[in-house]
C-alpha cells in the first residue's frame, strides 16, 4: 500500500528519532507497530542500552564483537540475539553509526494476526501474554536469527512503523531495567502506564556460592 503524505512524514520522523540520542529514541518506540510473519505487535515496553561508557549491562560495553556488530551500524536496524539456549530477543539499533546503542523490545500487544500468534504460542492462555516479555514477543512474531541486521524502516519482511496515534508523554513510565547484572538501577526501562501486556519487574539477584 502506498503511503499518504502524513504517513511519509511520520516515518521520516521515526527515522530521525532513532538516529538521535538513545533515551528519547527508546521512549519514541512506545506505541510503534512491528510487523513480521503475518503478525503486528504494538510496542508497550522497551529497555535502552548504551555501548561503551559505563553501561555494564550492554552487549557492547567491552567493544565490538561478531555478535554485536550491528549495534555499531546505522540506526533503524535489528539486533537479534539468542539467549539461555532457547530464546530470541530483538533490539532496535539507535544513535550515530560507529557508536553502539540499541533498544530492547520488551513487550507488546498483538493488534493484528492474533490467530497466527496463538498458533506460535499455543501454551499461552491469555492474549495479553502472547508478547509479554522479549522472548514471547519474538516468538509471537516468528522472529529469529534471520532478522539480524534487517532494515526495520524499509519494506523488508520485518517492518517498524510509527504509532497509529501519538503517545501522550504523561502515559510513559520509567524505571530500572529487568534482571540485568550490571548498571542495575539505571531508569532506562520505559513502558506505557496501565498496560496489561507490560512484563513484571524482577531485579537481578546474584547467586550465592556455597
Per-residue pLDDT tens over the stretch 24-74: 999 999 999 999 999 999 999 999 999 766 787 788 877 888 889 999 999
pLDDT at 63: 84
DSSP secondary structure string, 143-206? Answer: --GGGTT-BTTTTSSSEEE--SS---GGGEEEEPPSS-SSSTT---EEEETT-TTSPPP----P
Q: Please give the span between the terminal C-alpha atoms of the chain, in angstroms, as a whole number.
A: 61
How much of the chain exceeds pLDDT 90, in percent?
A: 70
pLDDT at 205: 55
With 70 as the cut, is the pLDDT of residue 13 above it? yes
With 80 as the cut, is the pLDDT of residue 207 above it? no
pLDDT at 3: 42
For 131-150, letters b (16+ CB in 10 Å) and e give bbbbbbbbbbbbbeeebbeb
Compute how many other C-beta atoms are within 10 angstroms of the C-beta atom of residue 104.
Answer: 24
When pLDDT is averaged across residues 86-104 and rounded to a whole number, the result is: 94
With 50 as the cut, is the pLDDT of residue 199 above it? yes
The pLDDT-based confidence of 84 (bands split at 50, 70, 90) is confident
C-alpha cell at 182: 550490571
When pLDDT is averaged across residues 187-206 and rounded to a whole number, the result is: 84
How much of the chain exceeds pLDDT 70, in percent?
A: 90
Containing H/E element for 45?
strand 39-50
Closest CA to 89 of 127, 31, 128, 49: 49
pLDDT at 21: 95
Compute how many other C-beta atoms are within 10 angstroms of the C-beta atom of residue 25.
Answer: 25
- Residue 25 CB partners (closer than 8 Å, separation 6+): 17, 18, 48, 75, 92, 94, 95, 101, 103
The pLDDT-based confidence of 209 (bands split at 50, 70, 90) is low
Please give the CATH number for the structural domain made up of 5-192.
3.10.300.10
- Residue 24 CB partners (closer than 8 Å, separation 6+): 17
The domain limits of the chain are: 5-192
- Whether pTM > 0.85 for this model: the answer is yes
Amino acid at each position: 500500500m502506498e503511503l499518504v503524505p502524513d504517513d511519509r512524514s511520520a516515518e521520516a520522523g521515526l527515522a530521525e528519532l532513532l538516529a538521535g540520542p538513545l533515551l528519547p529514541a527508546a521512549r519514541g518506540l512506545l506505541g510503534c507497530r512491528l510487523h513480521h510473519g503475518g503478525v503486528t505487535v504494538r510496542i508497550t515496553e522497551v529497555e535502552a542500552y548504551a555501548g561503551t561508557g559505563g553501561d555494564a549491562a550492554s552487549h557492547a560495553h567491552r567493544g565490538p564483537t561478531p555478535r554485536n556488530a550491528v549495534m555499531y551500524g546505522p540506526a533503524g536496524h535489528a539486533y537479534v540475539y539468542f539467549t539461555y539456549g532457547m530464546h530470541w530477543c530483538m533490539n532496535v539499533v539507535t544513535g550515530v553509526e560507529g557508536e553502539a546503542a540499541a533498544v530492547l523490545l520488551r513487550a507488546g500487544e498483538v493488534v493484528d494476526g492474533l490467530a497466527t500468534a496463538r498458533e506460535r504460542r499455543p501454551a499461552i492462555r491469555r492474549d495479553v501474554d502472547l508478547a509479554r516479555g522479549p522472548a514471547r514477543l519474538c516468538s509471537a512474531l516468528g522472529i529469529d536469527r534471520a532478522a539480524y541486521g534487517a532494515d526495520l524502516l524499509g519494506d523488508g519482511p520485518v517492518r517498524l512503523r510509527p504509532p497509529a496515534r501519538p503517545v501522550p508523554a504523561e502515559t510513559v513510565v520509567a524505571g530500572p531495567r529487568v534482571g540485568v547484572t550490571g548498571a542495575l538501577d539505571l531508569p532506562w526501562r520505559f513502558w506505557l502506564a496501565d498496560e496489561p501486556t507490560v512484563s513484571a519487574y524482577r531485579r537481578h539477584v546474584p547467586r550465592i556460592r556455597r
